[in-house]
Amino acid sequence: MKVDDLLKFDANGLIVAVVQHAETGQVLMVGYMNQESLAITMRDRKACFWSRSRRKLWLKGETSGNFLRVQEIRTDCDADALVLKCYPDGPTCHTNETSCFYRLIDFEGTVTLSGDGVAKE
Amino acid sequence: MKVDDLLKFDANGLIVAVVQHAETGQVLMVGYMNQESLAITMRDRKACFWSRSRRKLWLKGETSGNFLRVQEIRTDCDADALVLKCYPDGPTCHTNETSCFYRLIDFEGTVTLSGDGVAKE
């Protein structure tokens, strides 16, 4: 089966994409792709997203140089989500944290910083 | 900071939640939570989602018995996505695959099964 016949993009033409470090498994970020950014990702093997805030294609690393080199792309049973296993060229988060998920939420709802100690609130 | 002051739910009142195996790091599924399902998740330490198709709360495992026991909850720099590190009681996917992400997409766009070999197309 071909990917274009399978994937279900949402009403905005987007699909959620989870980026995971290819070796450590750490979830680095979650972004959104449209059909074009996915095609670019597959062609160049660097993760390219659709920026919902800037409403444009966003080649991750185009400014920072911290590209996400894609090793593997997976989709799920519903074909409405992607997982990309990547080797990051540098910190993934714009804060310079390794991962965007540097905030821990405890079971009482308190949020604390729990990353590399780079990001500040 | 408290979680209720930080998280950004979308126009439908939802936030995307990535479920990752607490030990192996395998991404098991992606679901959506509303404020209530997140509160239930935090209270019971079992992942509870909002089913977009059935439009109701969905305690993962309520039918199958395969609960996702939550060890850790994280959010990202934008506070619009969650990662849940969980111990699954059994296969996460309704197909009985360990992970819903049992489909591999190669760089030419061909989709193949690449999980436990349980799911069929």
pLDDT of residue B82: 98
- Does B118 contact chain A (CB < 8 Å)? no
Question: CB distance from A83 to chain B under 8 Å?
Answer: yes
Other beta carbons within 10 angstroms of residue A43's beta carbon come to: 11
- The pLDDT, as a whole number, for residue A18 is 99
pLDDT average, residue stretch A67-93: 98
Chain B residues whose beta carbon lies within 8 Å of the beta carbon of residue A93: 76-77
Question: Is the model's pLDDT at B120 over the cut of 90?
Answer: no
**A79 lies within 8 A of chain B by CB:** yes
* Å between A49 CA and nearest CA of chain B: 16
d(CA B61, CA A43): 39
In this predicted model, what pLDDT tens digit does every residue of B18-65 receive, in sequence order? 999 999 999 999 999 999 999 999 999 999 999 999 999 999 999 999
- Name the A residues in 54-73 with CB < 8 Å from any B CB: 72-73
CA A66 to chain centre: 13
What's the ipTM? 0.97
A7-44 pLDDT tens trace:
999 999 999 999 999 999 999 999 999 999 999 999 99
* Global confidence as pTM: 0.98
Residues B3-16 have a mean pLDDT of 96
| Residue B99 DSSP symbol | S
**Whole-number Å distance between alpha carbons of A41 and A85:** 12
